[in-house]
Every structure is written in C-alpha cells, then in structure tokens.
C-alpha cells in the first residue's frame, strides 16, 4: 500500500516536472537535411464540443538553421501578420557571461538577392541584415521589431545560464546584450532560459532582467530615443519550472512574458494527451489557463502576457486515441515524434477539435497514429481567449513550419485580432561596428540600392503594384507615379503627392508623404 502510494506520487511529480518541458525549442541534430515528406490529408474537422463564448502582439521565432533543410529564408516571412521577430538562437558563455552568435554564415555572411559583393566597408549580411528594416531587401515594415533570442533548450540544459547567480558575469551579459543591440540594429533581447527552476537560479534570473532593463533604458536615454528597447522572456507553462519566479520583479523589467504554452505531452508521458490545451489538465496536470492565471495571480501584467502557439504537432504511435497507452512516437518530419504543422494532418487521418479544452488532434485508426496539434479553428479560439482576458497577443514556434494563406496559424490569429501593435522599430545605430547599420541606409549597399531604384518608380514588392496614373508633370516629376495608399515602396522609390516629389527612405506601405511616420522626404515642388 505504502509502495503504491509512493509510486503514484512519483508519477504525479514526474508529470509536473516533465510537462511543459519545451525540448522542441532547439536546433535539431539533422537540421541540414530537408524535412521528411509525408502525404497530407484534408479531412473535415469534427467538433467534439463547443465552448461558449488596441493593438495585439504577434511574435514569432525565426531560426537561423531554418535556412538549410527547411529552406525557410527571411524572404518567406509575411511582415503584415507580425509585430516581433525573435531571432533564434544566440548562445551565452557560462564562464564569461558574454553572448555569441551560433552560425556566422547564416547570421552575418550569407548573401541574399540584392546584396552586393562589391560593397566597401565592414558590412553586415546574412539573416540579421535581412531582418533589419533599414537594410532588408525583403522590405520589412517599420512596425516589425527584431529581438535577438539568447538560449533555447539545448544551451539551457547544457548549463549556459548558470552565470545568472554571479554578479560580475551578469554584468558582462548586460554589457554584451547592449553591444549586440547597437551593433546589429536590434530592438531588444529575448531570453529563452529553460529553466530557472531553483531558488538561486530564479533569483539570479530576476536580477539579470532588472539589470538589463536599467541598461536598456540608459541606452535609449543616451541616444535620445523615446522608444524603449524591449526585453522579453520565453516563460514556462509547467509549475515545476516557474514556481520560484519573482514575478513582480521580473514583470517590472520585461516587455512581454511569452508563455511557452505547448509541449504539455510527448514521449515522456505514459499516455497520449493534448500538447497545448487551454483548459482541462486532467491528463497532464498542465493547461495554458492554469499557467496564465498563475502568472497573473503572482503579479504579471495581463497586457504583457502572450500565449505561445505551436506550429508543429506531437505524435504518438500504436494507440487507440486520446488518453490511451501508446508505443513509440514515430519519425516526425525533422525530429522524432514532431511533425511540422505544414505537413498536418497526415493522409488518412481524421481531425478532432475540442472547443471545451480548446485543443485539437488528428487520429488515423488504421495506423493507430495520434498527433496533437493546433488547427486554424483552435488558433482562432486561442486568440479569442487572449482578447477576452486582456492579454497582449500570441507567440509562435517557429515560422519555418507554418502553412501559407488562410491555413496559416499566424495569419489566423492576426485576422482574429484585427489590429496589431504599432510600436515603431529603432533605426538609429551610429555606434554599430557594421558600416551599413551605422550609416542607417547611407552605407554602400543602401546607397547602391537607392541609386538603382531611384528611376524605377514602380519597383515594389511582388504582391502589390503602385498606381501608375500619369501625374501630368514634367521635369523631376515626369518619371514618378502618383502615391498610392495600397502600394508598397522601398528605399529610393519616388512618387508625386500634392504637387511635390517625394522619395522613400525605407520600406513603406500606407504611410502618407508628409505624415508623422517620417518615411518620405520632400524633394521639392514638381
């Protein structure tokens, strides 16, 4: 009897420790290989039961290894559905506290279309250049903020955040983070520490965040920048990993709590379960609602909390369905047991949506294959939870595995929110070590782009063409088309508006010449 009670308690404790362990947020071992291909099905979702019924944040992780096997490039990002790009991952040295990039080619060197090999100076290329709204050939919006994400599951589990308990090493990290912001033209830092699950680590983590906030505010003041640099954390949803958090201190320092509301079930469980359910913790002792309510009860500001949404599914093989025993998790697309959302549902599977627990899964009875993942309907319901509870918005892991069009979960939540956060990004980095960032589009690559497009008044993104109505003018305005609110323009494009010639300073869509956004320079009367 005593032994039975001990084993039962041990199983519960094990579930508490394992549930919400986000092993998925790491570089896969075979990231250079293309994802495994599977036939995809298109069944009609079956509703199990129905749940009664400013600007929002849309943050998503872009992984620097995604450009290889997954072939997801910065140019594949849809800026209109996002407010934040969390660029993953940078590492941190546990012995020095200093940040380091993890793939120089992907981060700093890779040349994309529009990048010159003949630029003078010490110029930044790679995905970090593409993520910069002032330098990007992909023309990101002024309302996209780019944060460098430090950590991830692997580096965290390897003990790289042990430095947080040391005052001098924390100071080194703060200095390093501030330098990265200035050098790489960033809007802030995201920290994915998995996990600060001891009293000492939690206290050190809170101190680190407080010290980072002080440094970031000092940097903004020094530069005369009224927009604060942002500090976000990937926050765990499992009690064992957040129980020691000093929430009031952390909340005062950070911009957003990005709750990792996924990986509630996986190979560590004895039975199948939903991996990202909002309600009903009966199978895993974890739910998103429980986690969010805990953070709020401890002092987290609701308008700083985002709900993480997985762009992947957790698989279980040889099972009879939800809550049943299983044997194996299957090969997945890139990692064992993990299928990219863009491959789901697998061919032959039926899809089930539970609007009471707010969760979905697919099940193939002929194969005994169960996959827990979010559908567009469930993503919409999660966005409605966000709005109903006054939360900040959504976070996604990761962009490379989303679908496109109306099936995209990022698009679905964006459409549900309607209005997205309009915080403008930073564009002034005079002390950057990179010539093109320090010059803020006046560097060699930006200048050459501007000069080559100055006469091409209709050079815009492939999805939108500016109006080409004749202006009826001569001279400097003769080759410029009239400004169009529906067109997308890039640096150097010229338009006419209210009798003047205007030139774009960076990517723009919908910003009126002469407006407060400061996108357009008045070149004088036509």
Q: Is 510 left (phi over 0), alpha (psi -120 to 50) or beta?
A: left
Q: Which two tokens stand for residue 196?
A: 């600060």
Main-chain dihedrals φ then ψ at residue 238, nearest 5 degrees: -95, 130
- Reduce the DSSP state of residue 42 to 3 states and report it: coil
CA-to-CA distance for 404 and 376, rounded, in angstroms? 11
- Concatenating the DSSP letter of every residue in 95-132 gives TT--EE-S-HIIIII---TT--S---SS---HHHHHT-
| Beta-sheet strands, E only, within 312-376 | 312-316, 338-340, 350-354, 359-364, 369-372
CA-to-CA distance for 173 and 163, rounded, in angstroms? 9
- Give the count of alpha carbons within 13 A of 458, CB side only: 8
Q: Which two tokens stand for residue 152?
A: 């991830």
Residue 317: active-site member: no
Q: How far is CA 224 from each of CA 220, 308, 375, 424, rounded to the nearest angstrom?
A: 6, 33, 44, 15
Catalytic residue among 37, 98, 108, 194: 194
Q: Which two tokens stand for residue 225?
A: 């920048």
Residues involved in catalysis = 194
């Amino acid at each position: 009897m005593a032994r039975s009670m001990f084993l039962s308690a041990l199983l519960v404790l094990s579930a508490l420790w394992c549930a919400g362990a986000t092993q998925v947020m790491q570089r896969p071992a075979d990231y250079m290989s293309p994802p495994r291909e599977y036939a995809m099905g298109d069944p009609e979702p079956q509703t199990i039961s129905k749940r009664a019924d400013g600007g929002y944040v849309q943050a998503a992780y872009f992984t620097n290894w995604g450009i290889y096997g997954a072939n997801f490039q910065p140019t594949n990002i849809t800026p209109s559905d996002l407010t934040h790009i969390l660029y993953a991952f940078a590492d941190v040295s546990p012995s020095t506290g200093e940040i380091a990039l993890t793939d120089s080619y992907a981060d700093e060197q890779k040349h994309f279309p529009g990048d010159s090999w003949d630029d003078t100076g010490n110029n930044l290329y790679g995905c970090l250049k593409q993520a910069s709204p002032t330098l990007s050939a992909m023309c990101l919006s002024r309302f996209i903020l780019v944060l460098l994400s430090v950590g991830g599951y692997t580096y965290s589990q390897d003990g790289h955040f042990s430095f947080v308990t040391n005052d001098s090493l924390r100071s080194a990290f703060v200095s390093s983070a501030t330098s990265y912001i200035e050098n790489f033209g960033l809007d802030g830092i995201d920290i994915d520490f998995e996990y600060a699950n001891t009293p000492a680590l939690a206290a050190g983590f809170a101190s680190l965040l407080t010290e980072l906030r002080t440094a970031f505010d000092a940097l903004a003041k020094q530069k005369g920048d009224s927009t604060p640099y942002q500090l976000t954390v990937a926050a765990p949803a499992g009690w064992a990993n957040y129980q020691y958090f000093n929430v009031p201190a952390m909340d005062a320092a950070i911009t957003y709590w990005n709750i990792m509301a996924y990986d509630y079930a996986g190979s560590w469980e004895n039975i199948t379960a939903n991996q990202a359910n909002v309600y009903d913790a009966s199978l895993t002792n974890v739910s998103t609602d429980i986690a969010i309510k805990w953070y709020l009860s401890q002092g987290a500001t609701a308008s700083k909390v985002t709900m993480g949404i997985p762009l992947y599914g957790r698989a279980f093989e040889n099972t009879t369905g939800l809550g049943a025993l299983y044997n194996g998790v299957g090969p997945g697309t890139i990692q064992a047991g993990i299928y990219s959302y863009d491959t789901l549902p697998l061919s032959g599977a039926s899809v089930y949506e539970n609007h009471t627990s707010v969760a979905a899964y697919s099940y193939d009875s002929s194969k005994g294959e169960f996959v827990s993942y979010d559908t567009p309907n469930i993503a919409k319901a999660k966005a409605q939870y966000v709005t109903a509870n006054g939360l900040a918005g959504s976070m996604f892991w990761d962009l490379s595995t989303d679908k496109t069009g109306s099936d995209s979960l990022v698009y679905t939540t964006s459409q549900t929110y309607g209005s997205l956060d309009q915080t403008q990004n930073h564009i002034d980095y005079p002390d950057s070590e990179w010539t093109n960032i320090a010059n803020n589009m006046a560097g060699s690559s930006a200048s050459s782009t501007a000069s080559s497009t100055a006469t091409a008044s209709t050079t815009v993104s492939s999805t939108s063409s500016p109006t080409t109505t004749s202006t009826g003018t001569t001279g400097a305005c003769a080759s410029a088309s009239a400004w169009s609110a529906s067109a997308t323009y890039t640096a150097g494009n010229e338009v006419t508006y209210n009798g003047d010639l205007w030139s774009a300073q960076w990517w723009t869509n919908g910003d009126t010449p002469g407006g407060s956004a400061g996108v357009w320079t008045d070149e004088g009367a036509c």
